[in-house]
Chains A and B, each alone.
Chain A
Amino acid sequence: MWTQGSLRTQRLRAAYLFMLPGMAFFLIFYLYPLVQALWISLHEWSIMPGQDSRFVGAANYLRALRDPIFWISMRNTVLYTAVTVPGQMILAMLVALALHAIPRGRVLFRTLYYLPVITSWVVAALLFKFLFHSQSGLINYLLVDVLHLADRYIPWLQNPETALLAIMTLGIWKGIGWSMVIFLAALQDIPLELYEAAALDGAGRWGRFRYVTLPMMRPTVIFVLVMLVIGGFNVFLPVYLMTGGAPMHRTETLLTYMYNEAFNFLDFGYGAALSYMLAALIFLLSLFQIKLLRRPMEL
């Protein structure tokens, strides 16, 4: 059989053969878990190997809609994304512009700003836990004992609102470097002639940024935006490591709540349903962003 067939089918065979390892990897490690998670989400799942699980249909999904903690985690996830994505992008853009402008030391500063990105979340979270510690934290020390801006220590991580603030600060601090590097690369690709032409037309500093830099970087900015929004909705480690959802589940986000339900309370059915709801949300959002922001020649 191998010797028969037209050249075209032979080529196709070869192509499929080359795709096989990648496809196998995708099927086993991506598609199978995805389908299995969907299956689990329709059950009251038993974690013991070999034990039966009860089929409950959409019950796990309906339960989420009536679950107040689900809505708290949804609100926190949206809030985290709404704050950290612009926060990271604006600060990263400022840093990129500054680094692009300085004549020397660019590599040094780029490395310094990129360090948080490659720092372990655990290390960074411990550091921030120390910074925001209610008794012996550096921030309270500065606010109360050095600057006298507050008259008593603020229990940052014990109040839901301030705890979220601390978590978001960590998220922004850790993410700036990643966007910065991408912005910097895009900045370096903008032809200098465009700036010269703009300058000749009388554009000032702001004008050059507004009418040259930003339009030229548009695809990059959209790419970073889409990636950061996906990352924002998937926030897990900073929350898990800094508060674990405490107090009273008020700092819970979708993924920490999912993790808690699945691995603490063994409610794998409910946990799987939560993760599917999150996946659907991210999918729709990304689709919406790309449709809305894309221009014909981009992406």
Chain B
Amino acid sequence: MSRLKASAFRIGIGWMLLALLAAACVPAATPTPGPSPTPVVVERVVTPTPTPPGPVTITFWHAYNPEETKVFNEQVLPAFHQKFPNIRVEAQQVPYDEFRRKLLTSIAGGTAPDVIRADIIWVPELAAMGALEALDVIMPDFNAYKEKVFPGPLSTNFWQGHYYGLPLDTNTRLLMWNKEMYAAAGIAEPPKTIDEFLKVCERIKALGKDKYCFADGGTYGWAVLPWIWSFGGDLTDPEMKTASGYVNGPDTVAAYEFLKGMLDKGYLHPGILGGGVDTAGGFARDEIANLLEGPWMPAIFAAQYPQKQIQWALMPAGKGGSISVVGGEDIVLFKQSRNKEAALEFIRFMLSPETQLMMARVGQVPVRTDVIQQAVQAQPYFALFFEQLKTARARLPHPNWPKIEDLLTSTGQAILRGEKGAKEALDELAPKIDALLKQQ
């Protein structure tokens, strides 16, 4: 439930499939400061020393979900230890909700882990803080990896002229629809547009008072942005200079009014007001007909609800198209690390085709262009995720994003609870975000 939403948060790409399909144009919508092919000036050359002779230990923090952790601990780690008997990786699973706080405390105390699997939305903040090593400086073979990964996920590591990490996995949210409930309501096909989605909801609600068309865990960015963007709205201008006229623009207002209407009509589960709605459980019990979910769900359902089938469809399209939100994780190295060579070996190993494919089996969408075909063959449902990623967008890659999202979440709550009209609440929000965009 909230863990899933959590393990989900990430920013953006949008272009990935382009590389895959060798298509041409770049979707204009991506606010990610482009992974402009900036020639990286190497300021310091680290001679590649062979792996240290004596045994060294490095710490690695991640927020893999239980299924992912199982594969990581039982397959990935043993393979690494076999290949590098002198490097011991102490992996620690840290719950997503506590991850950032725990990490920041340990950085302040000078005891940061060596390497972490970081939510892509944390990297700008960590880089701006000066906590991360620039990999394009310290890693002699950085370019070899840079060329192998999708530019979108790679760009989430870029901050003021340097790359502070490498992408590890990517994802986005698709419409996960409940075939049994659709059948009971007499609907054959998933909705392609938001208008069709509303019609679906009307018929699902007719199934009973306790049947919900849609559910989500709250009003944070990961939840509301697909609706805002698909309605044609936005949070800021493409340069992240101003929110006024965007976050309170007519299309964003329309998106919030749509959600409020969904809630009032009983289409949207009231769990969005907080309190942790068990979205996956509700889906499995045929109480919830649609979710917006990520590629980790099949593995979770296989483990927890093996009798329930999952169907996928693209995010319903509105005036702005079918725009979902990009997520994923990067792997980053901390300046405080004492065993950087060993840590780099681990980073290389995590980006190897073998590891990427191992983790793909539990829903971690690979970032290497050269393993995509194999991954899609093994996990056919990945294909639709790649399709959605063509247009998916990033949450603001801004160091103040945590504060902006806090304001956004509260504003969404005020609107859905009917304390304020959407327009009024968003008009109040805009100047507050403007102020946060200015300070860096």
Binding site for B on A (CB under 8 A): 46-49, 51, 133-134, 155, 157-158, 246-249, 263-266
Contact = CB atoms under 8 A, between A and B. Distances in A.
A158 B130 contact: no
B270 A248 contact: no
B413 A48 contact: no
A51 B130 contact: yes
22 contacts: A47-B104, A47-B107, A47-B108, A47-B129, A48-B130, A48-B131, A51-B130, A133-B275, A134-B275, A155-B270, A155-B273, A158-B270, A158-B275, A247-B274, A247-B413, A248-B413, A248-B414, A263-B105, A264-B100, A265-B403, A266-B104, A266-B129
A263 B97 CA distance: 13
Contact of B108 (A49, A134, A264, A265): A49
A155 B413 contact: no
B234 to A, nearest CB: 23
Nearest to B412: A248
Contact of B275 (A157, A263, A264): A157
A248 B218 CA distance: 11
Interface centre among A49, A157, A263, A266 (most CB of B within 10 A): A266
A246 B107 contact: no
Contacts of B410: 247-249
Contact of A265 (B402, B409, B413, B417): B402
Contact of A158 (B101, B129, B274): B274
A283 B270 CA distance: 43
A248 B417 CA distance: 11
Contact of A263 (B104, B274, B403, B409): B104
B418 interface: no
Given A48-B107, A247-B273, 14 more contacts: A46-B129, A47-B104, A48-B129, A133-B275, A155-B270, A155-B273, A157-B275, A158-B270, A158-B273, A158-B274, A248-B409, A249-B410, A263-B101, A264-B100
B161 interface: no
Interface residues of B, number: 22
B274 A157 contact: yes
Nearest to B411: A248
Nearest to B419: A248
A283 to B, nearest CB: 28
Contacts of B131: 48
B130 A246 contact: no
B413 to A, nearest CB: 5
Main secondary structure on A side of the interface with B: loop
A135 B100 CA distance: 30
Nearest to B131: A48
B110 interface: yes
A291 B108 CA distance: 42
Interface in B124-152: 129-131
Nearest to B402: A265
Given A48-B107, A263-B101, A246 B274 contact: yes
B354 to A, nearest CB: 36
A265 B274 CA distance: 21
A49 B110 contact: yes
Interface in B263-294: 270, 273-275
Contacts of A264: 100-101, 402
Contacts of B402: 264-265
Contacts of A48: 107-108, 129-131
Contacts of A49: 108, 110
Nearest to B278: A135
A264 B101 CA distance: 6
A52 B85 CA distance: 41
A125 B222 CA distance: 28
A151 to B, nearest CB: 12
Contacts of A265: 402-403, 406
B84 to A, nearest CB: 30
A287 B275 CA distance: 40
Contacts of A246: 274
Interface in B331-371: none
Nearest to A248: B410
A158 B184 CA distance: 32
Given A264-B402, A265-B402, A155 B275 contact: yes
Contacts of A133: 275
A289 B372 CA distance: 70
Nearest to A69: B410
A270 to B, nearest CB: 12
A51 B131 CA distance: 11
A159 to B, nearest CB: 9
A47 B104 CA distance: 8
A134 B273 CA distance: 11
Closest 6 CB pairs of A and B: A47-B108, A248-B410, A158-B274, A158-B275, A158-B273, A248-B413
B394 to A, nearest CB: 21
B78 to A, nearest CB: 34
A184 B275 CA distance: 40
